[in-house]
Amino acid sequence: MSFKTVGTLLTLTLRATGNRTPPLARSPRVNRLSTSCRVFAGSQHVEKNKGQGCSSDSDRPNDGDVPLSSEPPHKCGNGDKKRLKEAAGAPGASDVRRRSFTSKAAPMDQTSFLWNRYNDLKRLVYDLIPPGACKSLNSSVIYANNEVSLEEVDIYGFDYDYTLAQYSNELNTLIYDTAKGFLIEHFKYPEEIAKYEYIPNFAVRGLHYDIQKGLLMKIDAFHYIEPGTVYRGLSPLSDEEVHYLYGGTFHVPLSQDSGFYGKGPKVKQFMDIFSIPEMTLLAVVNDFFFTNDIEYDPVHLFKDVSEAIGMVHLKGYMYKWIMQDLDKFILRKEETDAVLHRLVSQGKKLFLITNSPFSFVDKGMTHMVGKNWRDFFDVVIVQADKPHFFTDCIKPFRRLDNNGDLRWEKITSLDKGQIYKQGNLFDFLRLTGWRGSKVLYFGDHLYSDLADLMLRHGWRTAAIVPELEHETKIVSAHRYAVTLTWLQALTGLMERLQTHRDPDSKKVFLEWQKEREELR
């Protein structure tokens, strides 16, 4: 059963039960009835709507203030339809027949009424979702945000790092430890920082970092800080403190995070997988200074950590670690080999654009595909300097010889079997003619690999998102399905009953709101 089906059923149920009016204070002179047959107490006058049945409101018990007529209960005419009898245990119904307006039972107080509605709906949610009903998401399939016909795609492009080559999480630990050593040795940070070990799963891609305040957080698409996501160092901040630090609001102006790549003057968004150890190191050093009451400038800290992380890449440490133990760091090589073989066998053209150097790519691709890996690709570009490769038209293409040395001749075509360095997308399009929706490019960086190509050049793009494997397992769990459905049902219940503003109702709504926040 899909979430859509469950939502439809809940909507129908809420429509059927959600409009019942709770016990309200009524005039002692009038016993109001929700019925098409209006009966005035204390009189013999009955006003009927011809052809329509009676339906009393079961959620409105008799207050007992109005003397009930000794006359026999009112009956609908022959043209009226009889109300269907509710099954025992149905929402809003007990094991006995629903009370008629002539019931002399004690009136239900407002708090009990609301909690009864709450419990009825919750039982319904749990009954609707049997175990295993929502295990429909497969982490190994392709999810499409737009309609794509692969029959129309003739050219497939790939990034290398975290696209063709998937790396193990042990690489993050090495990057973190090496950059931490650079901070202590090169930037003279306190040696006590060395005791902080890498914390797996502390940070995820997409988080924002307030450079001037030293805060790591999650900001939504409308530039509002998500409550409960702000960390100073390794400790979360309360929503009240965040509200104070940002001048009485949770909104971060666009001007502070104005860059297309999330690099505003005050806030940076970390979007690639290599940035995960950088976020962890920023949090650790902030935590050390803050907990030890050491005065520091968060702007300087951000700059130093960024340079320390950059040194790991510039000095070639990461490339050396991977090339020394390819089996340890490169994952799922058989899948990469199978994909490339299948595309080529179907007559598709392939190209590779990566920021990594040729010697590193050559060793990795040989490990995954074989020595003839270059035969799969019509164009291979290394050290492309993305994202500038996609946005600037300054750097020309240079060809590399078989030893990896630069050649000096002008590039007038991009030939199969050759290796090219740098260049730019505008010359790439001019020399290949590969434009529009017949090109599908795979990358891991949503901005620098994918957004420009889609928005500016009309290429089809595909994001490699390893995190979705874990997310799909969570979403497919029975607990998640029940929690999400109950969250939607509770929200609908609050929407339908929000007109009750008496003190007792407000207390109940505060408890429901707290539960709703915890569910979210």
Question: Which residues carry out catalysis?
Answer: 159, 161
Distances (CA, A) of 286 to 193, 291, 324, 456, 506: 10, 8, 33, 39, 42
Contact between 387 and 345 under an 8 Å Cβ cutoff? The reply is: no
Q: For residue 56, give every residue at least 6 positions away whose Cβ sits within 8 Å of its Cβ, in sequence order, or none.
A: 33, 34, 35, 100, 101
Query: Looking at the DSSP assignment, which residues form a beta bridge with residue 215?
Result: 210, 232
The b-or-e profile of 296-319 (16+ CB within 10 A means b, else e) is: eebeebbebbbebbebbeeeebbb
Length of the chain: 520
DSSP 483-502: HHHHHHHHHHHHHHHTT--S
Question: Is residue 248 packed enough to be buried (19+ CB in 10 Å), middle (13-18) or exposed (0-12)?
Answer: exposed
> Cis (ω within 30 of 0) for the bond into 387?
yes
Sign of CA dihedral 434, 438, 444, 447: positive
Question: Is residue 86 packed enough to be buried (19+ CB in 10 Å), middle (13-18) or exposed (0-12)?
Answer: middle
